[in-house]
Amino acid sequence: MESLEVIARPHFDKADLTWLTDIRSRRAGSPWPPYFTLVFPGADMTPQDFAAKIRAVAADIPRIRFRLRSALVVPEPTVGRFHVFLIPDEGFGAILRLHDAPHTGPIEAALRLETPYIPHITVSTSADHAAARKLAQALNQGGIDISGHIDALEVERRSGDVVRKVADAPLARAGWFG
């Protein structure tokens, strides 16, 4: 079954990107660079119509700067696992609004009603709550502070484990000094 999704793949300093990619690979089984998922599967649209809607929404949203400074353990009861999320202290509201903006019309069907949206980057997934909590505590006590920015969205088509980029959707450029 194919599905359409939207992600934001932020830009980070090289050392932070290396660290994030490494911890995600080792602890979350995800060897890909970090990203924020903004639209989950569920919209029944053609890829072209979906991408056009996302591009139109993105064109009105300014680029976003954020800072990841907190780790949070989040349970996923349906699969009996616990995720450790890095949460933006700065930019949280902007990313939340970025998530909310496209969820109108046919894309509204992609909203996950059973759980609130929390802007995050997953750094660990575990069946052991104590292990997840220990990692989150270590990150929080270690003074994690990772800056990044979002300049564009990516529309992806997923078929099983195969993910293909359908389109880029640049965010609006900031003003002269933004």
pLDDT digits 0-9 by tens, 89-102: 999 999 999 999 99
Q: Is residue 176 part of a domain?
A: no
Q: Is residue 131 part of a domain?
A: yes
List pLDDT tens digits, range 4-55: 999 999 999 999 999 999 999 999 999 889 999 999 999 999 999 999 999 9
**Average pLDDT of the residues of the chain:** 94
Q: Is residue 177 part of a domain?
A: no
Count H helices and E strands in the chain, helices first: 4, 9
Q: How many domains does the chain have?
A: 1
Q: Is the pLDDT of residue 173 over 80?
A: no
List pLDDT tens digits, range 63-78: 999 999 999 999 998 8
Q: Is residue 100 part of a domain?
A: yes
Q: What is the pLDDT of residue 176?
A: 45
Q: Is residue 68 part of a domain?
A: yes
Average pLDDT of 148-160? 95
Q: What does the DSSP assignment read for 107-156? A: GGGG--TTS-----EEEEEES-HHHHHHHHHHHHHTT--EEEEE-EEEEE
Q: Is residue 120 part of a domain?
A: yes
The CATH code of the domain that includes 113 is 3.90.1140.10
Q: Is residue 166 part of a domain?
A: no
Average pLDDT of 132-136? 98
Q: Closest Cα to residue 166, out of 174, 158, 157, 175?
A: 157
What are the structure tokens assigned to 131, written together? Answer: 């292990």
Q: Is residue 125 part of a domain?
A: yes
| Domain encompassing residue 12 | 2-152
Average pLDDT of 118-137? 97
Print burial letters for 13-52: b (CB count within 10 Å at least 16), e (below 16). Answer: eeebbebbbebbeebbebeeebbbbbbbebbebeeeebbe
N-to-C CA span, the chain: 41
